[in-house]
Amino acid sequence: MVGMQYDAIIVGLGAAGSVFTEALSGAGWKVLALEEGPWYNPFRDFADGKAIRVPTGVVYQKDSLRPNMVKAVGGSMVFYAGVFFRMHENDFRTRTRFGCGTDWPITYQELAPFYKEVEVFSGASGSNTNVFEPAREPYPNPPHPVSGGSRYFAAGARTLGYHPAPTPMSILSRAYRGRPACTYCAMCGQGCMVGDKSSPEMTYIPAAVKHGAHIRANHKVLTIETNNTGRVSGVVYKDREGIRHKAHSELVILCGSALLNPTLLMRSRGPVHPGGLGARSGLVGKYLMCHVGGRYMARFPEVVNSFMGISGGINVQDFYDGAPNADFHRGYTLYVSLMPGPPAVFADWYLESWGEELVQTMESYNRMTRLAVVGEDQARVSNTVTPDPELKDEEGFPAPRVEYSRTENELNLFDHAVDTARRICRAGGADDWELFYIADSSAHPLGTCRMGDDPDKSVVDRWGACHDVEGLYICDGSVFPSSAAVNPALTIMALASRTAHHLIHKRSG
Amino acid sequence: MRRRVFLSACAVALIGAWPKSSAAAGEESFQILLALAGVVVPDKDPAAWRSGPAADELFSRWRNLEDSRRRGIETALKMLDSEAGKSGDGNTFISLHRKQRAALVSRLLDRSKGFASSFSRLRPLIVRSFYSSRTGFERTGYRRTTQFIGYPEYVQTAENWE
């Protein structure tokens, strides 16, 4: 197959791939970015919510946790809530400081400039009043107004002596760089039709297009190719008509997610890599992590209208690094979220009742608020993504098979978080408390290609360079050695920005 | 007997009140579905499922169901009629009082796994219809607005843009 030559090929256009595509094309590189999912037009595709139903092809084992993932230009961020936390300094040193997890090969200080760069590019909104976060410069935009249940939650937290703070968001609190401020329509999960949510399709992708990047949606990468010396030489991909092509480059950057990267690496065999790429440590596909997640409903005495606003509101991180006499490692973030959709969705998906019970619950719909937990998940080698022995995709490649289970540690952490949330809401005036669904859901698949300095204990180095394949970089949520207890989008983007700068610097000598 | 006549008259009135398009569709099952809807989401306005936004929404969703799914639901609706007829009075589900209908649904959910399975598909249809309608918005206090500014022209003319 004859194909074009590029300076870099980006595989996957989610949080990381979008940053790479913008940064490298902005430096004058000839960049090809391949995304298996579609390139949504917000106006046309987000009106009916059908845009989120693209099958991922991932096979989940019975009883396995099922992390969400979206294939699209912009990735899962197209439909995410916009929560934009930085990780804390301690997150990078959990083994050293807490005796659990794995230390990252980089520090918070190394990543901080890139956190800032992404926050500025995205127009992050927030305030540096969170006493648990490292000292930092002001956010480019002020925090969103405190609304709905957040007022009650903040009052309750203060009553108990906790430290509530506005949650940092990648949603504009005021007009910024040609985009409008949030209208608080609360349809972030359906895709932002306004343009204020700073997901990549609204920020990095338009900039990359302007720089001249070659963006190909609905193009699936089948294999990453290597030459006789074992070095990366390009990719083979399938276009939207199903026709196979080859693109050449000595630099391939894999940003396909913790769920899809492992099987692509395993099926990309070459003369020097008969067992697939990155196979030396035997850790590709291992240490899958998913935050300990959960959503809880609190019902307040007055109308809070939590069907509008932002899903972040106020957060509490008093138990981020653990709790006294805790029977679990590390900790969690609690924040006020939104009602899970309009009344029809809430009544259908979250309630099972019917008759008078259903009607009575729904009558307090606009007095309810949802709270979210993001708890640190301890990486375990037994939680994996591997090729499914039976199910194959249309090209005949094994589908990714996820096996993941929680342990006592995560369940104990979860119970503690529930108890804290309950106490805060009661102190804030909640007249009732009901738990509608628990733990086994998380939108943040992490790990499976972990980062580290030791090639025997990690897949990529501190820059995301694959230890045993020259020219191959992996840089997205899959490289996280530990999960921290915050939503990972900003950290994924900051890691990508850091590596992009490194590559540009390296090339320019 | 007099009560049965009255209830039958109500049922006829209910059917008569339904839009002609529904009658033209000849869907007897839909009338049972409407009666069931009044049990699943018993609105304070007795007419809510007789006419108006919630009933319109339900009809629209019912009409657009795939045939196979509609047939599965019709089987469950027939079970309601069959169970209602077991009293020996020749009752149909529609002819029962609302409380009787609710008791019958509870009974079937307890006894019949098949009905419980069908009910799990029926319930979303009814619940989503009601709470997506203006009536449902009013009952929950829900409202929303959105607007779209649009991509700049250079994105719309980009390679691979659809």
The pLDDT value recorded for residue A385 is: 96
The pLDDT value recorded for residue A363 is: 93
Tell me whether residue A99 is exposed, middle or buried, using C-beta atoms within 10 angstroms of its C-beta: 0 to 12, 13 to 18, 19 or more: exposed
Residue B88 has pLDDT above 90, yes or no: no
Alpha-carbon distance of A179 to A352, in angstroms, equals 40
Q: Rounded to 5 degrees, what angle do the CA atoms A408, A100, A446 make?
A: 75
Chain A residues within an 8 Å CB radius of B148: 42-43, 193-195
Residue A253 CA from chain centroid, whole number: 18
Mean pLDDT of A393-415: 91
Please tell me whether residue A32 adopts helix, strand or coil conformation: strand
Chain B residues within an 8 Å CB radius of A347: 127-128, 130-131
Indicate the residue type of A414: F
CB A355 within 8 A of CB B40: yes
Every domain of chain B and the residues it spans: 2-142
The architecture (CATH level 2) of A8-55+68-508 comes to 3-Layer(bba) Sandwich (3.50)
Confidence band for A231, pLDDT divided at 50, 70 and 90: very high
The owner of tokens 């008569």 is B16
CB A373 within 8 A of CB A292: yes
The owner of tokens 């089948």 is A222
Each residue of A459-473: pLDDT tens digit?
Answer: 999 999 999 999 999
- Closest residue in A to B38 (Cα–Cα): A355
A356 touches chain B (CB under 8 A): yes
Confidence band for B42, pLDDT divided at 50, 70 and 90: very high
Tell me whether residue A274 is exposed, middle or buried, using C-beta atoms within 10 angstroms of its C-beta: 0 to 12, 13 to 18, 19 or more: exposed
The pLDDT value recorded for residue A342 is: 85
Residue A268 has pLDDT above 90, yes or no: yes
0.90 cut: is pTM over it? no
Here the ipTM equals: 0.74
* H or E stretch covering A371: strand A368-375
Query: Which among A253-262, A296-305, A429-438 has the top mean pLDDT?
Result: A253-262
Judged by CB atoms closer than 8 Å, whether chains meet at B41 and A356 is answered as no
Residue A273 has pLDDT above 70, yes or no: yes
CB A182 within 8 A of CB A171: yes
Residue A277 has pLDDT above 90, yes or no: yes
B46 touches chain A (CB under 8 A): no
